[in-house]
Amino acid sequence: MFERFYRHDKTSQHHSGSGLGLSIVQAIANAHKGTVNITNKDEYCFEVTVGLLIAK
């Protein structure tokens, strides 16, 4: 899911977005020594959690 231009359902006739979102999120998190986690909620839904440290 973190690959650029990734699409889960390549057979769908309805393509929205460019498939860049999560790869950009991961790049930003990595640049700031953060984390990105994905949790499957059900067949159609997932949760993305981004963890970043707070500067003092």
Return the domain boundaries, the chain.
1-56
Residue 9 pLDDT class (50, 70, 90 cuts)? low
What's the one-letter identity of residue 16?
S
The span from the CA of 4 to the CA of 45, in Å, is 20
Amino acid 26: pLDDT: 92
Residue 4 pLDDT class (50, 70, 90 cuts)? low
**Does the model's pTM come out above 0.75?**
no
* Backbone φ and ψ of 22, nearest 5°: -70, -30
Higher pLDDT, residue 4 or 48? 48
Distance of CA 27 to the CA centre of its chain: 10
Residue-wise pLDDT tens digits, 10-45: 555 555 555 567 888 899 999 999 999 999 888 888
DSSP letters, the chain, are --STT--S-TT-S---S-S-HHHHHHHHHHHTT-EEEEEE-SSS-EEEEEE-PPP-
